C-alpha cells in the first residue's frame, strides 16, 4: 500500500471532504450568485440613462471592483474555513485519524480552496455577466450612426467582462494573485485555532505594513548612501509586473509548503 499518494484513496478523501464541506460550499456559492445578480440588476443602465462610452463599448464600471472585492471575500472566506476544524481538538482527532496520508489531506485542501473555489467563482461570475450582457443586448437600444467611410454602426457594443479585461495587457500578470489569497487564508485556517479569518487578515495587514515600512526605510537608506544623480534607473512597467507575477507565485508556493508542514505537525 502506498502510504504517500494513492489516487483511489485521494478520490475517497475528496468525496469525504465534499460531504462535510460541500453544503457550506454550495451555500456560499449561492450567496455569491445572489449578490452578483443583485449588483448587476441594480447597475443595469436604462435607455434614458446610457452611461458613457469607452472605446466604442458600453461602460460598466462596477464590474471590476465587484469582481475583485466579491472574489476576494469568497475565496478568502472559503479558504479560511477549510482546516478550521483542526483547531478544535475534539473534532481534529476524527480528521487526523482518517486513513489518508498527510500529503493527500493537504492536496485536498489545495484542490478545494485554490482550484475549485477560484474556478467556481469565475464560472459564476462569467455566467451572470454573459446572461446580463445578452439581456442588455436585447433590451437596450443604441443609436445608429451613418458614417460615410465605415458604413452604419452602432454607437456602442457590449462585451463581456473577461473579453474587456483580457484586452488589458496588465491582467495576465495578476493570474497568481487569487491563488496567493487562497494559500494565505488556507495557511491561516490551520495556523490559528480560532477566529481564523480575522487573525489571518490582521496578520497579512501587519506583515504588509511592516514590509512596506522596511522597504521604504531601506530604500531611503540606499538612496542616502548612493545618491542618485541624473535620471537614475527606472524599472520598466513590464519589469515590475513580471516581479509581481513571479513573486506571487513564489509566495503562494511557500504558503502551500508551510501549510503542508503545519498539517504534518498538527497535534490533537
Min dist. Cβ of residue 262 to another protein (A): 13
Q: Compare residues 83 and 132 and give the one whose CB is closer to another protein.
A: 83
Helices (H) and strands (E) in the chain, counts: 9, 4
- Using rule CB under 8 A, residue 88 touches another protein: yes
Interface residue with another protein among 52, 97, 149, 225 (CB under 8 A) is 97
Q: How long a stretch of residues is the chain?
A: 268
83 near 263, Cβ under 8 Å?
A: yes
Interface residue with another protein among 48, 147, 168, 265 (CB under 8 A) is 265
Interface residue with another protein among 7, 52, 90, 150 (CB under 8 A) is 90
Min dist. Cβ of residue 191 to another protein (A): 18
The answer to whether the Cα torsion of 44, 48, 50, 51 is positive or negative is negative
Q: Could you tell me the three cell numbers for 161?
A: 467582462
Min dist. Cβ of residue 102 to another protein (A): 6
- Using rule CB under 8 A, residue 99 touches another protein: yes
CA dihedral (137, 138, 141, 143) in degrees, to 10, reads: 50
Stretch that binds another protein, among 42-50, 65-73, 83-91, 192-200 (CB under 8 A): 83-91
Q: Could you tell me the three cell numbers for 217?
A: 526605510
Helix (H, G, I), strand (E, B) or coil at 134: helix
Interface residue with another protein among 20, 45, 163, 214 (CB under 8 A) is 20
Q: Could you tell me the three cell numbers for 1?
A: 500500500
The Cβ of residue 43 has, within 10 Å, a number of other Cβ atoms equal to 14
Q: Compare residues 24 and 115 and give the one whose CB is closer to another protein.
A: 24
Q: Compare residues 21 and 173 and give the one whose CB is closer to another protein.
A: 21
Would strands 151-154 and 144-147 be described as parallel, antiparallel, or unpaired? antiparallel
- Using rule CB under 8 A, residue 101 touches another protein: yes
- Using rule CB under 8 A, residue 15 touches another protein: yes
Stretch that binds another protein, among 11-19, 25-33, 117-125, 230-238 (CB under 8 A): 11-19
Q: Where are the beta strands (DSSP E) in the chain?
A: 53-54, 57-58, 144-147, 151-154
Q: Residues 129 to 188: which contact another protein by CB under 8 A?
A: none
Helix (H, G, I), strand (E, B) or coil at 58: strand
Residues interacting with another protein, by CB under 8 A?
1, 3, 6, 9, 12, 15-16, 19-20, 23, 88-91, 93-94, 96-102, 104, 264-265, 267-268
Amino acid at each position: 500500500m502506498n502510504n504517500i499518494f494513492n489516487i483511489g484513496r485521494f478520490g475517497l478523501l475528496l468525496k469525504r471532504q465534499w460531504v462535510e464541506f460541500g453544503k457550506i460550499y454550495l451555500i456560499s456559492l449561492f450567496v455569491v450568485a445572489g449578490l452578483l445578480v443583485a449588483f448587476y440588476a441594480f447597475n443595469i443602465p436604462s435607455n434614458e440613462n446610457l452611461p458613457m462610452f469607452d472605446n466604442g463599448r458600453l461602460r460598466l464600471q462596477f464590474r471590476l471592483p465587484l469582481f475583485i472585492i466579491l472574489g476576494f471575500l469568497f475565496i478568502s472566506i472559503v479558504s479560511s474555513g477549510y482546516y478550521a476544524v483542526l483547531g478544535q481538538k475534539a473534532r481534529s482527532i476524527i480528521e487526523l485519524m482518517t486513513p489518508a496520508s498527510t500529503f493527500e489531506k493537504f492536496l485536498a485542501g489545495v484542490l478545494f480552496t485554490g482550484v475549485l473555489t477560484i474556478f467556481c467563482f469565475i464560472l459564476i461570475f462569467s455566467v451572470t455577466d454573459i446572461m446580463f450582457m445578452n439581456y442588455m443586448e436585447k433590451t437596450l437600444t443604441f443609436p445608429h450612426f451613418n458614417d460615410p467611410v465605415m458604413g452604419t454602426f452602432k454607437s456602442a457594443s457590449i462585451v463581456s467582462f473577461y473579453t474587456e479585461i483580457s484586452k488589458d495587457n496588465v491582467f495576465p500578470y495578476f493570474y497568481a494573485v487569487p491563488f496567493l489569497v487562497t494559500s494565505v487564508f488556507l495557511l491561516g485556517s490551520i495556523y490559528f485555532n480560532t477566529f481564523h479569518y480575522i487573525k489571518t487578515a490582521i496578520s497579512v495587514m501587519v506583515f504588509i505594513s511592516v514590509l512596506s515600512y522596511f522597504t521604504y526605510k531601506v530604500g531611503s537608506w540606499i538612496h542616502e548612501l548612493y545618491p542618485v544623480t541624473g535620471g537614475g534607473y527606472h524599472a520598466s512597467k513590464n519589469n515590475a509586473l513580471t516581479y509581481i507575477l513571479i513573486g506571487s507565485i513564489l509566495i503562494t508556493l511557500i504558503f502551500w509548503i508551510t501549510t503542508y508542514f503545519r498539517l504534518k505537525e498538527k497535534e490533537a
